[in-house]
Amino acid sequence: MQTSNIQTGTFSTFLNEAGVENDTSILLLHGSGPGANAMSNWHFALPFLAGSYHCLAPDIAGFGQSQHNDHPRGTSKWIDTWVQQQIDLLDAKGIEKTHIVGNSMGGGVTLHLLDRHPDRFDKALLMGPVGAPFAPTEGLTKGWQFYKDASEEVLLDLIKKFLYDPSILGPDVEKIAAERYTNVMKDNVRVQFEAMFCDGTKAGIDAFVLPEDRLANIPHQMMVTHAREDYFIPLSNSYHLVEHIPNAQLHVFHHCGHWVQIEQKSAFNNITKQFFDGAFD
């Protein structure tokens, strides 16, 4: 595993990379919770997939160590930034085409990448994705509007709700919350996160939605995964996507929360590898 800072447009992207000796690449895009970054999402998946694939897990602009120079106001402008960031990253690494995995908000970014730059991607796997129309959930609203009532206790409650069974992490839950809280209360992190979702949760959700005719034109082989007990993104989102994307199929995890890649890490990792290996073709 190695890390580096890659120039992507006007700002630097912090990249976690593994399996560089492999010929086929996977780009992994994380979700959007307060304090989220690539390795908080992919610390189990990255080393597993790196046995067969060249894995690239960037901190998305405005998260982790990929701090954007400007503060665009509104989710739509940030989506444009996030999409271009990934294309700039692939160009900088000399990667013409890659598989892609998108978690939650990263799933929404993935859909826009497939829509705008279809030739740069092969297969796609989504996990608990935004990108379909839905009413704001309590969990997503608490996450995207976190700074209206920011506290370590609120963040701890959110992190527990990412899991169907928080005891799976034991005392690490409190440790994760404390570490994230220190990060999210930094001024530069706060101002960017607030700018992303300044128009409210509903406007943020709608910004990711692609019309049905554009979903129908996404040609890629796609595996959509979702947890039945997801507190943040409703399972109906994934049903909507597989109904309209012609080559999409769905796997639903039971007794599992939004952090499928942690709570069901073995099953998720194996399904992901098998999908990209061609087992579901």
pLDDT in tens, the chain (281 residues): 899 999 999 999 999 999 999 999 999 999 998 889 999 899 999 999 999 999 999 999 999 999 877 788 999 999 999 999 999 999 999 999 999 999 999 999 999 999 999 999 999 999 999 999 999 999 999 999 999 988 999 999 999 999 999 988 888 888 888 888 888 888 888 899 999 999 999 999 999 999 999 999 999 999 999 999 999 999 999 999 999 999 999 999 999 999 999 999 999 999 999 999 999 98
Q: What is the pLDDT of residue 70?
A: 77
Q: What is the pLDDT of residue 108?
A: 98
Q: Which of 4, 250, 254, 8 is nearest to 107 (CA)?
A: 250
Cα dist from 201 to 27, 41, 215, 222, 238, whole Å:
27, 22, 22, 27, 19
Q: CB atoms < 10 A from the CB of 229, how many?
A: 15
Q: What is the pTM of this model?
A: 0.96
Domain of 183 in residue numbering reads as 2-277
Could you list the active site residues?
A: 104, 230, 258
State how many domains the chain has. Answer: 1
Quote the tokens at residue 96: 């013409």
Bridge partner residues of 160 (DSSP): none
The set of residues, in sequence order, having a beta carbon less than 8 Å from that of 82 and lying 6+ positions away, is: 60, 61, 109, 112
Whichever domain contains 265, its CATH number is: 3.40.50.1820
